Amino acid sequence: MATETEKNIQGEKLPDHTVGHDVEHGHNEQKSLARNLQGRHMQMIAIGGSIGAGLFVGSGSSLQSGGPASLILGFIIVGVMLLCTVQALGELAVLYPVNGAFYQYGVRFIDPAWGFAMGWQYAIGWLITLPFEITAAGITIDYWHHYNIGIWIAVFLTTLIIVQFFGVRGYGEVEFFLGVIKIIAVLGFIIFGIIVDCGGVPGDDRGYIGFRYWNDAAHGNKAFRHGFKGFCSVFVNAAFAFGGTELVGLAAAEAADPRKSLPKATKQVFWRIAGFYVISLLIMGLIVPNSSPDLLNSSGANTKASPFVLAIQYAGVKGLPSVFNAVITISVMSVANSCTYGSTRTMQALAQGGMGPKWLAYIDRKGRPVWPVIIQMAFGLLAFINEAETGSTVFNWLLALTGLSSFFVWGSICFSHIRFRNAWKAAGRTLDDLPFKSQVGVYGSWVGFILAILCLIATFYISLFPIGGNPTGGAEAFFESYLAAPVIILLFVFWKLWTNDWRFGVKTKDMDIDTGRRDFHELPPPEAGERRGSLRRLSRAIF
């Protein structure tokens, strides 16, 4: 018998003599993209790819508005939704490692107009997030010395441009290196936080803390702050913190071996949610008073309000705040690198699918989508808006376009998986025909889809009735929080008008389950004398 080297996440085994090839039309529409992402790149993208300002800084705003209990529950709820989403995405991306990933799934299994709207909303979100992240990285330098932020914006933007010359391999290597640093930093903070909470830091006069800040009404510290509104306020920050996890599915089209690396990367998402988010935020909520004025008005671009840095400062440890601030700088640049990857690949895929200008589809001989990269770098120049007096106002409106995009994308992935399963069954296929199956199945996708809708409803509620009473800013305050929703509706209507196709939804019998599908089948086991040569030839033939 041939040796067995591949296992999927359910423990099923794929023999050495299993071959993957694309079915339908006899070609692979992703041949122009370089498949240079290795397994270690995919796993690090899944584990640490999006750990950045959302976790290290934005969580401070949630701690102040909702309290530590709301913070943890909100991140757990969004984490469960994301876990179901990534499992569904893993099943689809292994079978269809197509360029554009979830935008393509929306077109095939939901509605072409919805796929168009979701794809462009996702690309726009990353386009705008890049200057935001570059700005945040520049502000971190202000922690040590007051320089003109424009200098650092130029330095960081130039660094990102240099990375783009190395194509997808450059993206993978940068994410791997920076991801390792972020993971070490989070693990170190968890250990540090436990020591502080137990009163193990000699210079900290608070002694044993325990859950003091969860029930200290005399000083304004509560487990749940501002009631139900405080709880609802956590979701947008949680989505921003988790945003980018879905990139592991987008990267499938450029993975050297998606059948092997993607299931492994998908499995890592659980540990990232449980360990790097929930546990670190639990520890942080124990040792940082949620009534601290240092947390007020904290946002992703105000790194001085990072609750992680504050936790170290409150413990009286010298030097370590600067170290963790450096980690925040690295993390923000990592997310900026992910911004570039997410937007450029999505724009190129939309153009390739006829849903964008044709010139955006051009890929050079090294597998780089040149024009989308140029557009993304041009958007990076928006970071210089901070030099203007009205820069913060402009930024707030730009970021309003991205606030809800993650919920739309994650909900669409889950619904695409539900619809795909219906089409797969209607075509007479069984689950045994799938090379990788979601651990939570179609029921998990329903859970993820419903949670995405509930998060959108909660965000709508807190946007309409913000903490502190009735709406204080009228329509302006509402749209600053919920602008992404009307934008995606306008994109949906635009494509309906452009195509003059007013049918809603793709019928199950009309769904395309073959184009771009990677088929895995077994060849007869080779004879003993031919085994080594056959395996060598097969290894060169796979992918």
CA 30 to chain centre: 22
Using alpha carbons, select from 372, 379, 454 the residue that is nearest to residue 132: 379
- Which two tokens mark 342? 């997410």
Helix (H, G, I), strand (E, B) or coil at 472: coil
Give the structural domain span for 119. 39-506
Separation CA 283–CA 303 (nearest Å): 19
Distances (CA, A) of 451 to 117, 235, 267, 433: 21, 11, 21, 29
257 is a domain residue? yes
Distances (CA, A) of 5 to 17, 158, 264, 404, 541: 10, 42, 14, 41, 16
Provide the angle, in degrees to the nearest 10, between the axes of the packed helices 167-197 and 320-352: 140
Amino acid identity of residue 107, one-letter, is: V
pLDDT in tens, the chain (543 residues): 333 333 333 333 343 334 444 444 434 444 455 555 565 666 666 665 667 777 887 788 889 889 999 999 999 999 899 889 988 988 888 888 777 768 889 999 999 999 999 999 888 888 888 887 787 777 777 767 666 777 888 888 888 888 877 777 777 777 788 888 888 888 999 999 999 999 888 888 888 999 999 988 777 888 898 888 889 888 888 888 887 777 776 666 666 666 676 777 677 677 777 777 889 999 999 999 988 888 765 444 444 568 898 899 899 888 888 888 888 888 877 878 778 888 888 888 899 888 989 998 888 877 778 898 889 888 888 888 766 665 556 656 666 667 678 889 999 999 999 999 999 999 888 888 888 888 888 999 999 999 999 999 988 888 887 776 555 555 666 776 777 888 899 999 999 999 888 888 889 888 888 877 766 544 344 444 444 443 344 334 333
Q: CB within 8 A of 132, min separation 6: which ones?
A: 300, 301, 383, 395, 398, 399
- Which two tokens mark 412? 């669409």
**pLDDT tens profile 494-523:** 999 998 888 888 898 888 888 777 665 443
Separation CA 361–CA 377 (nearest Å): 17
* pLDDT score for 485: 83
241 is a domain residue? yes
Beta bridge partners of 519: 21
18 is a domain residue? no
Amino acid identity of residue 199, one-letter, is: G
97 is a domain residue? yes
169 is a domain residue? yes
How many domains is the chain built from? 1
From the number of C-beta atoms within 10 Å of its C-beta (0-12, 13-18, 19+), residue 447 rates as middle
Amino acid identity of residue 283, one-letter, is: I
Distances (CA, A) of 36 to 40, 260, 267, 348, 543: 11, 14, 21, 18, 11
Using alpha carbons, select from 27, 193, 78 the residue that is nearest to residue 451: 78
**pLDDT tens profile 248-280:** 766 666 666 666 767 776 776 777 777 778 899
Helix (H, G, I), strand (E, B) or coil at 506: coil
* pLDDT score for 490: 93
The answer to whether 66 touches 76, Cβ cutoff 8 Å, is no
* pLDDT score for 337: 79
266 is a domain residue? yes
Is the full-model pTM beyond 0.85? no
- Which two tokens mark 17? 């003599």
CA 25 to chain centre: 33
Amino acid identity of residue 277, one-letter, is: Y
- Which two tokens mark 43? 């796993």
Separation CA 147–CA 57 (nearest Å): 21
Residue identified by tokens 């487990």 is 223
5 is a domain residue? no
The answer to whether 327 touches 306, Cβ cutoff 8 Å, is no
158 is a domain residue? yes
* pLDDT score for 422: 93
Helix H segments across 427-483?
441-464, 474-482
CATH classification at residue 447? 1.20.1740.10
